[in-house]
Amino acid sequence: MRAKRLNHVSIHANDMEESLGFYMDVFGMERLPSPNFSQHVEWLRLGEQQLHLFLRAEPAPELHHIALDVDDFEAAYLKAKELGLLERNAFGAAVRELPDGAVQMYIRDPAGNLVEIDWPDATTLDRSVIGEIPRMADERPQTGEAARATLYHAAADSAR
């Protein structure tokens, strides 16, 4: 037996309507019919996968996160900046470049969940919009397997 793909991720929502609005407005997710569980759960379409929100009073874990690809990183950055969502404390920078050239941006949703927004190629981004993007390799040495790490396996596999 081997897992084929990620089906869904479930995360906290402290205020269900606020969280639903956030994911539908910021990321264009679509609300789906949800079963009647013993607690309030809502399902959202995320491409071929789903994001499940469940109402919980406890705070969200600080560094656990979901990561999303977007079709327009610059628009996502501008929206996050406009809404004051950029998270600079979790991993040292709101936006950074990985050793493979991919870019990560971190934001927090209304319940405090950390959301990573990914882009495959830093060279395609307009620096007049994003500004300077710190390189992880400049902050921490990347040698051996760390230097070969890639966030986008399909691109790396097709290059082989």
Residues 54 and 64 in one domain: no
Model pLDDT, residue 121: 97
Q: What is the per-residue pLDDT across 66-108, written as a single tens digit (0 to 9) for each?
A: 999 999 999 999 999 999 999 999 888 999 999 999 999 999 9
Examine the domain organization and report whether 87 and 131 are in the same domain.
yes
Question: What's the CATH code of the domain at 143?
Answer: 3.30.720.110
Looking at residue 160, its pLDDT comes to 46
Using 50, 70 and 90 to split pLDDT, how confident is the model at 136? very high
107 and 72 assigned to the same domain: yes
Q: Which of 103, 107, 106 is nearest to 132 (CA)?
A: 103
The pTM of this model reads 0.90
Coil, strand or helix at 2: coil
* Count of domains for the chain: 2
Do 35 and 108 fall within a single domain?
A: no
Q: Kindly state whether residues 65 and 52 are assigned to the same domain.
A: no
Q: What is the pLDDT of residue 3?
A: 75
Asked if 23 and 64 sit in the same domain, the reply is no
Identify whether residues 38 and 107 lie together within a single domain: no
Query: 42 and 90 share a domain?
Result: no
Considering the chain, what is the average pLDDT of its residues? 92
Q: What pLDDT is recorded for position 155?
A: 54
Asked whether residue 23 falls in the same domain as residue 72, the answer is no
| Residues in CB range of 56: below 8 A, 6 or more apart | 12, 13, 14, 39
Q: Are residues 49 and 88 in the same domain?
A: no
CATH number at residue 44: 3.10.180.10
Q: What is the DSSP string of 38-87?
A: SS-EEEEEETTEEEEEEE-SSPPPSS-EEEEE-S-HHHHHHHHHHTT-B-
Q: Can you give the residue range of the structural domain that contains 66? A: 60-160
pLDDT at residue 153 is higher than 90: no
Q: What angle do CA 23, 74, 83 make, to 5 degrees?
A: 50
Q: What is the mean pLDDT of residues 44-69?
A: 93
